Amino acid sequence: MSGFLNDEGDLMIIEPEIAAFDASMPPGPPSTNDPVLRRANALAHDRRVFDLLGVTVAPVATEEHFVAVGGHPDVRVRIYYPTTVRQHEPTPGFIAFFGGGFVQGGIDYPSYDATYRRRAHDSGVAMLAVDYALSPEVRFPVPVEQGYAVLAWAHDHAEDLGLDASRLAIGGVSSGGNIAAATTLVNRDRAGYPLRLQILEVPSTDLTLRSIDAAAARSLTRLPGVLARQFLRPLVTSYLGKEKRTLARNPYASPLRAASHASLPPAHIFTAELDPLRGDGERYAEVLWHSGTPAASVRYAGQTHGSSGLVGISPGATRWHADVVAILRTLHD
């Protein structure tokens, strides 16, 4: 078992499976200013990592749609149905946003595709994976507007899509958790479509970066929190642009900064012990709870920001998946 002492003298444990996988992982994709090449490199890197995982892809049916977004680019949505053949009876649906720091990721990445297939298969809930636009070519608030458009579309066309409009939920991972949380705020402030719950996994909820957990940063990287902020700041700049200082306080960019968190869907928030963003998730759970929105936060010991995808390799990640599936299954009630 791998471990070390943090600055407070506490023993920090990393699951040996995670440590071994990290050591065997290929180097990350080279950076480039060409958006096409940059995204192709990132996709190729994800495929190499996926091959190392040796994941079995769950057999499910899929459909793809393009959703119009007023004043913004259309957005592609892939629906993963729980069975290999789309059923006629309506099923609960979960609108899902991938992670990638707002600059990479997508529903075609093997890792996310496998996750959505696995979760649909194991939970019996349809996954509506949103292929939102990436920065810096497309910036805030476009991904949030795309998220809201998908929610409205899923509700209005639920019968045609084989979904139950009264049993929809939403969630995302990392930057996708940011967009999911922001979408619930937009939805509350506009039409108020019914959402049963939200699942936010290692979410980024405060783009001012004031909620970075310095202790987690020091434990994982041996660097002070200020350097963790320096690492994350270019991602924020990419997403928000030149007006980042002002926009970072916008509640649709930083859901933690909203004036009110009342009347939002009940939240299940998952954080990782060795993740500097754990403060974002845990603080968000606190403000939701104090605003009267039911919220629960679980911190997974020995886990890093990206380790939840190591299902079948890391016991913690496998438990993480089981917990998400258990929550999704409540949509059948």
Which active-site residues does the annotation give?
Answer: 174, 275, 305
Q: How far apart are CA 231 and CA 235, in angstroms?
A: 8
Chain centre to alpha carbon of residue 138? 19
Q: At what angle do helices 175-189 and 142-156 cross, to 10 degrees?
A: 60
Cβ atoms of 303 and 274 within 8 Å: the answer is yes
- Of 104, 103, 102, 164, nearest to 128 (Cα)? 164
Question: Quick check: 127 and 45 in contact, CB under 8 A?
Answer: no
How far apart are alpha carbons 85 and 60 in whole angstroms?
A: 7
| C-alpha span between 118 and 125 (Å, rounded) | 10
